């Protein structure tokens, strides 16, 4: 491919050169003259150039200190141009003239307040089309609107700003990614992230999923970080399928188009911005202290069978005669406080921009440093960007962009560290005491205690079991260093001015990531022989992408001005290669030897030595045209063919058409006279786009050697049978894997009134995903395989979005802006493979809710029992029928309430949770399960206001909200279940303890009973309004700036996440729906609300 790209480049160059050569003729003449300004003073340093008809510079010289110049001209038919940064350029024809005494007009006016009234162009990354002529749904935000916010990446700042764009954070720790969903999730488990397009070319945001990042999806997304928010000029989001169809297969989940800043014609402007923030974890959920905990546990243990904690359990004995245990287990440790600190963020950015007629530049260097609120987490980032434009002639333009970023991110080894800290027994000490009560200074990490021990890691990087959280935060490391270099070259060739233009883009993207982690023995206390001890990991992944785009834009001129046409042909290619190497060893000799290269064990089930290579290629050819008649009827049609290497030969290519139109009603006669309406348009679109699978090579059937490792098919050593290697078919060939096709329909209305003081955008959409991908669909084991990837069904996403921007008050000094957006989305399965499971959740197990997949019903509904309080005494546990009369057994005996008789047959005891016996049969079982709620918010959105005075003082506030969604308060469940040795919240202090207690918290039962079955006890309405940000910005007036010899200066203070209005009793009502399967429900596991952030920033330009 690269060969062809080069070839193409070569062609362009050749043609361009031939132009030069062909026109060079020897007609040597010398011209001279003097350049003065309007005050008749000579101007030094004016560039005097001979330019040809295409504006190409042939020869150039400069004026001396007296403003004189002389230049040997090659061709008299050329023109002479005079340019200087402070003056308006001029151009004169030469012909027979040899003396040029010119007066230049000062251009200082240009640099003063110029009110630009041009129409904003919307950019889909391909061909810019003015926003008022767009036929598709899109959202747009200017980065300036967000620049006060203290966010490491632009995605964080976008949260809640745009209708139909749902952005949620994975966690507040530095470096963790965000999840962006445009108009809901269009896939059950395929790729769901939108395509990011930076300066016209796709920007890869994923890394192969089998690399050892906990959840590579989210982390990979954090790569977006690598574009510094201050380098971004604006962001557009393409939402409907007709708009995304332009980008083809990788755009099925929407497109985020990012345009970075570029230089313009100006003298050099140096801008320095600095932001500093303090971040603070808000008050967390109150948990039991050591003393309260130590009274709860023996009671909890005793309750089920009446047997006290065994004498060997020294953790709760508080026996001063056993001093070692006494000192180590008689504390009131606040584990959360011990791993929390005040975080800070600093962000510096210097940029320089400027340029002349021919060359323009934008260069920036940024440094970002964040210390997380959890010990052991921080992020450092250095990034630079140079965007250069060079205008060779009117025909040829070059662009060369170069960006580099370096990120060094430290994370907690355990992704669930905060969770572990909440659960950790509070009577345990952080540091180990000896038997004399002296603090040894070593972390107290016992091999195991009553609460358990370290039990390994889950695939998502969570620690199973429990550890000393402080030791874990301080001693265990997890470091990710990534470097990314993205050179981007663009050649712009005007074949025929204003009519035919060709562009050629090529971008190389070198993205290297190194992940090192180490789990020392001191963090887990495990025995030295275990593979969990001194576990050392080192992984490298190198990704190399080559993206090209060749566009041919044809904009014919019509004699009749009523017609206009923009059409283009685009060829896109994408090649992604990644190689990874991973080493995981254990039992290095000491906790100081953290690298796997130290002598260590490699022969155990946890260790690995692995390397992988993947390559993906895709190609797309697009033909698109937008035709407009009388500026009223605009019609857009496109057809795109895609090819992707992830499909087998039968289904490798897909063709995806799109059509859309816009009717400018305000252009019709009957509305022409309504002066208040600037624009009223109706948009209608239909489009298809295809989605490729996330995995490479999946359509091959692979024959592999049998290996000893077991579970993961690529790890371990091959084993033999009778000394011979055995080969087995490791997966079936996926002949039938087809494109997942998203068919989108959109109906939109744009209204702009009172000279754009009121603008309204309303969109209704329906996206149908056909041939939904499902990775790892379970298949019958008689096939010999566990799972296959398949197209399983059809799903709809439908909803509406409304955006409203107004300027209700505007005077000379004051301006008030109000904006509001709201959206609603529903996910409905229309058709599903019979192999796909139809329900999830076992209602006979504590903590589980039932969810069902019902065709033609929206996702998100969950079912469970009705909680009615706590049985206060034995009499209250007698079963009763519909009329409230006690049920009598066949032998006249009293019948007590039972749970799931006969297979479980637990008899409810006083102090147990009461569940409503819906069918009055004295037996709580699946028949008593009822609808409890729905996790999907009815509406989500945000609103904000800004008030500015004289353009100097500006107060901006922004709120976001969700309305009508039910959340399962998992934190409440986990902190009040009193089921194990985990610490509990202070709510359990009012638990049922003796006959007659009336309370809402059941008795403590160690690993027994059914006190926290999925019931409405934990279901809460999580509607909320959050005061997301408030900013006060002061921009110094010109007078002051001049005094300071600055071009401009401004400063601001911002507060984020200041307050949340909600009835939700959990920590944070903004619970994202994890995962993308149809069974997902909002299950709140968070212990802390989002951190409060206070930022001060200054920006100055010289």
Partner 1 sequence: MFKKLTIKIALVLLLFSGVSCKKWLDLQPTDGITGASYWKTKEQVQASVTGCYASLLGSPNGSRSLAELLFLWGELRSDMLATTTFTVPEELDIMNVNILPTNSIVNWRSVYQTINYCNTVIDFAPQVLGNDQTFTQDALNKSIAEVKALRALMYFYLVRSFGDVPLKLKATASDKDVEQIPKTSKDSILLQIIQDLSEAESTAAITYGDRASDKGRITKYTINAIQAEVNLWVENYAGCISACNKIISSSQFGLIDGSVASTWFNTLYVNGNSNESIFEFQFDNQRQNTFYPLLGIVSRHLAANPLVLTDVFPTDFVNLPPMIDIRGDGASVRSTDNMIWKYSGLSNDNRTQRASTQYAAHWLVYRYADILLMKAEATNQLNNGQEAIDLVTQIRNRARAVAGNNTNPSPSDKNAVNDFILDERKREFAYEGKRWYDLLRNAKRNNYQNINLLLQMVLNTVPADRQQSAIAKFKDKNSHYLPIYFYELQTDKLLVQNPFYK
Contacts with partner 1 in 567-586 (CB under 8 A)?
569, 571, 573
265: CB partners within 8 A, 6+ apart: 355, 356, 357, 360
Looking at the Cβ atoms of 779 and 955, the one nearer to partner 1 is: 779
What distance in Å separates the CA atoms of residue 190 and residue 410, rounded to the nearest whole number?
29
Bridge partners (DSSP) listed for residue 296: none
Contacting partner 1 within 819-848 (CB under 8 A): 834-835, 837
Instruction: Give the residue with the Cβ less far from partner 1, 733 or 921.
Output: 733
Q: Is 560 in the site for partner 1 (CB under 8 A)?
A: no
Binding mask 151-190 for partner 1 (x = CB under 8 A): ----------------------------------------
Given the rule CB under 8 A, which of 1-9, 213-221, 289-297, 1026-1034 is the region that contacts partner 1? Answer: 1-9
Q: How far is the CB of 554 from partner 1 (least distance, A)?
A: 10
Token output for 734: 């996926």
**Per CB under 8 A, does 790 bind partner 1?**
yes
Of the pair 789, 1068, the CB lying nearest partner 1 is at 789
Q: Which region, judged by CB under 8 A, interacts with partner 1, from 207-215, 536-544, 666-674, 711-719?
A: 711-719
- Closer to partner 1 by CB, 504 or 1087: give it: 504
Nearest residue (CB) to partner 1, 4 versus 814:
4
Residue whose tokens read 């320095």: 272
Helix (H/G/I), strand (E/B), else coil: 475: helix
We find the least distance from the C-beta atom of residue 763 to partner 1, in angstroms, to be 35
The answer to whether 619 and 596 are in contact (CB under 8 A) is: no
Distance of closest approach, residue 770 Cβ to partner 1, in angstroms:
18
Residues between 589 and 618 that touch partner 1 (CB under 8 A): 612-613, 615-618
Selected from 39, 711, 892, 893, the binder of partner 1 by CB under 8 A is 711
User: How crowded is residue 893: how many other Cβ atoms within 10 Å of its Cβ?
Assistant: 8
Name the residue nearer to partner 1 (CB basis): 387 or 791. 791
Closest by CA position to 949, among listed 839, 811, 1050, 1047: 811
Cα gap 1091→372, rounded to integer Å: 10
Scan residues 483-522 and list those touching partner 1 (CB under 8 A).
495-496, 500, 502
Binding mask 632-661 for partner 1 (x = CB under 8 A): -----------xxx---x--x---------
Residues of this chain, 12-41, that bind partner 1 according to CB under 8 A: 15, 19
Sheet architecture: strand order including 898-899:
906-907, 898-899, 923-924
- By CB under 8 A, the residues from 248 to 287 that bind partner 1 are none
Tokens of 827: 């996910």
- Smaller CB distance to partner 1: residue 93 or 605? 605
Give the tokens for residue 454: 């370290």
Q: How far apart are CA 930 and CA 581, in angstroms?
A: 50
Output the smallest distance, CB 612 to partner 1, in A: 8
First-residue to last-residue Cα distance in the chain: 45
Smaller CB separation from partner 1, 379 or 715: 715
Report residue 530 as tokens: 């275990």
Q: How far is the CB of 709 from partner 1 (least distance, A)?
A: 9
Q: What is the CA radius of gyration of the chain?
A: 34
Segment interacting with partner 1, rule: CB under 8 A, options 82-90, 113-121, 448-456, 786-794: 786-794
In the bound state with partner 1, the residue whose beta carbon lies nearer, of 558 and 782, is 782
Asked whether the bond before 902 is cis by omega within 30 degrees of 0, the reply is yes
1063 burial via Cβ count (<10 Å: 0-12, 13-18, 19+): exposed
- Residues 40, 118, 780, 811: which binds partner 1 (CB under 8 A)? 780
- Binding of partner 1 by 310 (CB under 8 A): no
Query: Looking up tokens 């109706």, which residue turns up?
Result: 682
Dump strand ranges (E) for 785-897.
Answer: 787-791, 793-810, 814-832, 839-840, 851-852, 861-864, 867-870
Q: Quick one: 19 or 304, whose CB is closer to partner 1?
A: 19
In the complex, the smallest distance separating the C-beta of residue 738 from partner 1, rounded to whole angstroms, is 11
Residue for token pair 């962001």: 235
Spatial separation of the C-alpha atoms in residues 764 and 746, rounded to whole Å: 6
Residues 1015-1034 that bind partner 1 (CB under 8 A): none
| Alpha-carbon distance values, 1055 to 232, 533, 806, 1036 (Å) | 22, 43, 24, 21
Does residue 552 touch partner 1 according to CB under 8 A?
yes
* Residues between 45 and 84 with contacts to partner 1, criterion CB under 8 A: none
Subset of 521-550 contacting partner 1 (CB under 8 A): 550
> Side-chain half-sphere of 28: how many Cα atoms within 13 Å?
2
Residues numbered 1032 to 1061 that lie near partner 1 (CB under 8 A) are none
**Coil, strand or helix at 514:** strand
Among 783, 811, 856, 891, binds partner 1 (CB under 8 A): 783
Task: Provide, rounded to whole angstroms, the least separation between the CB of residue 717 and partner 1.
Answer: 8
Q: Does 926 bind partner 1 (CB under 8 A)?
A: no
What angle is formed at CA 421 by the lines to CA 177 and CA 1081, rounded to 5 degrees? 50
Annotate 166-196 with DSSP letters as a single string: EEEES-SSTT--EEEEESS---SSS--SPEE
Residue 1039's Cβ-count burial label (10 Å; 0-12, 13-18, 19+) is exposed
Minimal distance, residue 22 CB to partner 1, in Å: 9
> Are 416 and 463 contacting, i.e. CB atoms less than 8 angstroms apart?
yes
Cβ distance to partner 1 smaller for residue 8 or 169:
8
In whole angstroms, the minimum distance from the beta carbon of 640 to partner 1 comes to 12
Site for partner 1 in 733-752 (CB under 8 A): 733-737
**What angle (nearest 5°) sits at the alpha carbon of residue 1076, between those of residues 1073 and 1077?**
110
Nearest to 50 by CA among 114, 97, 115, 111: 97
**Residues of span 691-710 touching partner 1 by CB under 8 A:** 696-697, 700-704, 706-708, 710
Please tell me the count of residues contacting partner 1 according to CB under 8 A: 76
Q: Where are the alpha helices (DSSP H) in 551-598?
A: none
CB of 303 to partner 1, least distance (A): 22
Taking the complex as a whole, the smallest distance from the CB of residue 610 to partner 1 amounts, in Å, to: 10
Q: Which residue lies nearer to partner 1 by CB, 496 or 990?
A: 496
Nearer to partner 1, 524 or 550 (CB): 550
Nearest by Cα to 574 from 505, 471, 658, 489: 505
Q: Which is nearer to partner 1, 483 or 730 (CB)?
A: 730
C-alpha span between 239 and 428 (Å, rounded): 53
Least Cβ distance, residue 834 to partner 1 (angstroms): 5
CB of 134 to partner 1, least distance (A): 28
Residue 779 found at the interface with partner 1 (CB under 8 A): yes
CB of 209 to partner 1, least distance (A): 15
Is residue 563 near partner 1 by the rule CB under 8 A? no
Per-residue buried b or exposed e for 421-447, using 16+ beta carbons within 10 Å of the residue's own CB = bbbbbbbbbbbbbeeeeeeeeebbbbe
Instruction: Name which of 265 and 835 has its Cβ closer to partner 1.
Output: 835
DSSP string of 48-74? EEEE-TT--EEEEEE--TTSEEEEEES
> Between 713 and 732, how does the x/- string for binding to partner 1 read (CB under 8 A)?
xx--x-xxxx-xxxxxxx-x
Q: Which residue's CB is nearer to partner 1, number 499 or number 1044?
A: 499
Alpha carbon dihedral 49, 50, 56, 60, in 10-degree steps, equals -40
Question: Smaller CB distance to partner 1: residue 697 or 1061?
Answer: 697
> Between 55 and 366, whose beta carbon lies closer to partner 1?
55
Place of tokens 């019509």: 558
């Amino acid at each position: 491919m690269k060969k062809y790209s080069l070839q193409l480049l070569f062609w362009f160059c050749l043609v361009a050169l031939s132009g030069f050569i062909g026109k060079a003729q020897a007609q040597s003449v010398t011209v001279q003259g003097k350049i003065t300004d309007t005050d008749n003073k000579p101007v030094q340093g004016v560039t005097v150039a001979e330019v040809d008809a295409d504006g190409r510079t042939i020869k150039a010289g400069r004026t001396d200190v007296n403003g004189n110049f002389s230049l040997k001209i090659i061709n008299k038919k050329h023109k002479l141009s005079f340019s200087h940064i402070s003056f308006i350029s001029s151009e004169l024809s030469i012909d027979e003239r040899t003396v040029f005494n010119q007066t230049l007009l000062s251009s200082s006016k240009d640099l003063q307040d110029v009110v630009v009234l041009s129409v904003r162009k919307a950019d889909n990354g391909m061909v810019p089309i003015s926003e008022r002529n767009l036929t598709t749904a899109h959202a747009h935000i200017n980065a300036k609107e967000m620049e006060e916010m203290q966010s490491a990446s632009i995605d964080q700042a976008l949260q809640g700003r745009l209708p139909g764009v749902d952005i949620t954070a994975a966690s507040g720790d530095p470096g963790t990614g965000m999840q962006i969903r445009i108009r809901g999730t269009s896939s059950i488990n395929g790729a769901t992230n939108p395509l990011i397009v930076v300066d016209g070319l796709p920007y890869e945001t994923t890394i192969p999923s089998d690399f050892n990042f906990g959840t590579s999806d989210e982390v990979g997304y954090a790569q977006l970080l690598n574009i510094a928010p201050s380098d971004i000029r604006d962001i557009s989001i393409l939402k409907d399928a007709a708009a995304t169809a332009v980008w083809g297969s990788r755009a099925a989940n929407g497109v985020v188009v990012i345009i970075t800043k570029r230089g313009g014609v100006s003298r050099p402007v140096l801008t320095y911005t600095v932001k500093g923030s303090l971040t603070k974890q808000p008050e967390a959920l109150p948990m039991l202290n050591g003393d309260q905990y130590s009274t709860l546990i023996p009671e909890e243990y005793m309750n089920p069978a009446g047997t006290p904690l065994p004498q060997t359990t020294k953790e709760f004995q508080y026996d001063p005669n056993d001093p070692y245990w006494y000192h180590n287990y008689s504390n009131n440790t606040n584990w959360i406080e011990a791993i929390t600190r005040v975080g800070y963020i600093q962000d510096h950015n210097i940029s320089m921009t400027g340029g002349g007629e021919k060359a323009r530049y934008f260069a920036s260097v940024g440094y970002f440093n964040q210390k997380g609120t959890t010990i052991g987490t921080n992020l450092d980032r250095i990034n630079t960007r140079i965007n250069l434009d060079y205008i060779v002639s009117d025909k040829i333009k070059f662009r060369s962009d170069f960006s580099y970023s370096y990120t060094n991110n430290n994370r907690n080894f355990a992704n669930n560290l905060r969770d572990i800290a909440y659960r950790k027994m509070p009577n345990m000490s952080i540091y180990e005491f000896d038997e004399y009560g002296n603090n040894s200074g070593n972390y107290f990490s016992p091999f195991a205690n009553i609460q358990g021990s370290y039990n390994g890691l889950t695939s998502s990087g969570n620690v199973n079991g429990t550890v000393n959280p402080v030791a874990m935060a301080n001693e265990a490391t997890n470091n990710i260093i990534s470097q990314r270099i993205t050179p981007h070259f663009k050649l712009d060739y005007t074949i025929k001015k204003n009519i035919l233009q060709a562009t050629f883009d090529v971008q190389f993207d070198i993205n290297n990531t190194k992940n090192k982690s180490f789990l020392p023995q001191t963090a887990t206390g495990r025995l030295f022989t275990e593979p969990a001890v001194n576990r050392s990991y080192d992984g490298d992944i190198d990704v190399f992408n080559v993206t090209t785009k060749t566009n041919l834009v044809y904009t014919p001129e019509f004699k009749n001005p009523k017609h206009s046409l923009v059409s283009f042909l685009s060829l896109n290619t994408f090649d992604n290669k990644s190689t990874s190497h991973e080493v995981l060893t254990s039992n290095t000799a000491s906790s100081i030897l953290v690298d796997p290269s130290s002598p260590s064990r490699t022969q155990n089930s946890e260790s690995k030595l692995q390397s992988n290579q993947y390559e993906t290629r895709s190609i797309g050819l697009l033909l698109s045209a937008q035709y407009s008649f009388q500026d009223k009827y605009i019609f857009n049609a496109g057809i795109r063919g895609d090819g992707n290497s992830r499909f087998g030969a039968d289904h490798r290519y897909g063709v995806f058409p799109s059509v859309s139109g816009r009717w400018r009603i305000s252009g019709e006669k009957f509305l022409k006279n309504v002066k208040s309406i600037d624009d009223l348009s109706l948009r209608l679109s239909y489009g298809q786009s295809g989605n490729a699978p996330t995995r490479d090579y999946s359509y091959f059937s692979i024959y592999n050697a049998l290996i000893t490792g077991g579970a993961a098919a690529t790890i371990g050593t091959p084993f033999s049978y009778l000394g011979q290697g055995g080969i087995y078919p490791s997966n079936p060939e996926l002949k039938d894997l087809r494109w997942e096709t998203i068919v989108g329909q959109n109906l939109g209305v744009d209204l702009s009134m009172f000279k754009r003081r009121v603008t309204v955008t309303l969109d209704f959409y329906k996206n149908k995903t056909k041939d939904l991908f499902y990775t790892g669909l379970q298949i019958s084991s008689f096939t010999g395989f566990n799972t296959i990837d398949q197209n399983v069904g059809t799903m709809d996403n439908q909803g509406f979005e409304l955006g409203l921007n107004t300027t209700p008050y505007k005077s000379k000094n004051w301006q008030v802006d109000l904006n509001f957006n709201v959206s609603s989305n529903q996910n409905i399965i229309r058709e599903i493979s019979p192999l796909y499971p139809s329900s999830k959740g076992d209602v006979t197990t504590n903590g589980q809710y039932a969810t069902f997949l019902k065709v033609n019903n929206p996702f998100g509904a969950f079912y469970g029992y009705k909680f009615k309080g706590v049985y206060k005494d034995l009499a209250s546990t007698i079963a009763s029928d519909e009329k409230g009369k006690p049920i009598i057994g066949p032998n006249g005996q009293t019948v007590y309430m039972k749970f799931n008789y006969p297979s479980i047959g637990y008899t409810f005891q006083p102090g147990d949770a009461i569940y409503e016996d819906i069918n009055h049969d004295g037996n709580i079982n699946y028949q008593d399960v009822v609808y409890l709620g729905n996790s999907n918010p009815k509406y989500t959105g945000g609103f904000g206001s800004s008030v500015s005075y004289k353009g100097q003082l500006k107060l901006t506030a922004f709120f976001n909200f969700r309305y009508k969604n039910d959340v399962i308060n998992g934190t409440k469940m986990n902190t009040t279940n009193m089921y194990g040795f985990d610490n509990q919240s202070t709510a359990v202090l009012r638990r049922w303890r003796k006959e007659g207690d009336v309370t809402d918290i059941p008795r403590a039962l160690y690993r027994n009973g059914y006190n926290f079955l999925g019931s409405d006890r934990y279901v809460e309405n999580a509607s909320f309004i959050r005061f997301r940000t408030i900013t006060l910005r002061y921009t110094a007036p010109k007078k002051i700036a001049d005094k300071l010899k600055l071009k401009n200066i401004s400063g601001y203070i911002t507060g984020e996440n200041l307050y949340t209005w909600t009835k939700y009793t959990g920590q944070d009502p903004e619970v994202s729906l994890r995962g993308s399967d149809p069974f997902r429900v909002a299950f709140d596991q968070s212990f802390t609300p989002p951190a409060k952030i206070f930022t001060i920033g200054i920006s100055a330009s010289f």
